[in-house]
Amino acid sequence: MQWRAEVWFLVGVTFLVGAFVVLFSVWHPSDGSYSGYSFEIVDGWMFISDAGQSHGGFEYTGQYEVDIAPAHEEFIFDGSVVDMRLTLELGLGDPIEPHNLTMVIDYYPKTDQVLLDFDGSQIVLDMVEIDDVWNHEYDGWYAASWGSEAPPNEVHGEISPEMFGLPAHYYVDMRLHIYVGHIVA
């Protein structure tokens, strides 16, 4: 009886190892080819407001330039490590922290979203074809925005003020002008 259990255990382990080898060879071809996405990051900015929305009564607003560059490689592909630098352009004082983030960038073609993953947090940017919030200035850009008082048309993707050391009621809006290309090499 004991030997039957051992045989079934070995059959199960053999099956799992075989399945893993097949899946790994499909996702990571051994011929050195690559199928994925590349990113060209043209421009970016982030707006913050203590009003909890993009427009309205407030005491503090700030605008930041967002620069994203490859951390280790010459080009940016999905799965690449990138460095993001936030530089204050407009605003009295600078309440955000940190200003420099290292993260992994990915692209989800089914939802047309760009994901920035860092320290257990994620920024998910949606493609916004028609930008009603900023009077079409950022049509076709990727956006992540949230605010405690923001109407539904101002909320895109996933982002949180706490990621930048801001109080939870703040409005934060990150916009990135990114060209995403599909690569098969």
What pLDDT is stored for residue 59 in this prediction? 84
Q: Which of 145, 151, 138, 123 is nearest to 178 (CA)?
A: 138
Q: Which of 166, 141, 170, 167 is nearest to 156 (CA)?
A: 141
Instruction: Using the predicted structure, report yes or no on whether residue 6 has a pLDDT greater than 70.
Output: no
More confident residue, 68 or 27: 68
Model confidence at 28, in pLDDT bands (50, 70, 90)? very low
Judge contact between 167 and 146, C-beta under 8 A: no
Model confidence at 122, in pLDDT bands (50, 70, 90)? very high
Instruction: Using the predicted structure, report yes or no on whether residue 21 has a pLDDT greater than 70.
Output: no
Instruction: Using the predicted structure, report yes or no on whether residue 23 has a pLDDT greater than 60.
Output: no
CA 101 – CA 118 distance, rounded (Å): 7
Model confidence at 10, in pLDDT bands (50, 70, 90)? low
Instruction: Using the predicted structure, report yes or no on whether residue 181 has a pLDDT greater than 50.
Output: yes
- Give tens-digit pLDDT for 41-80: 999 999 999 999 998 767 899 999 999 999 988 889 999 9
Instruction: Using the predicted structure, report yes or no on whether residue 184 has a pLDDT greater than 80.
Output: no
CA 28 – CA 26 distance, rounded (Å): 6
More confident residue, 13 or 38: 38
Which residue reads 């923001």 in tokens? 150
Instruction: Using the predicted structure, report yes or no on whether residue 108 has a pLDDT greater than 50.
Output: yes
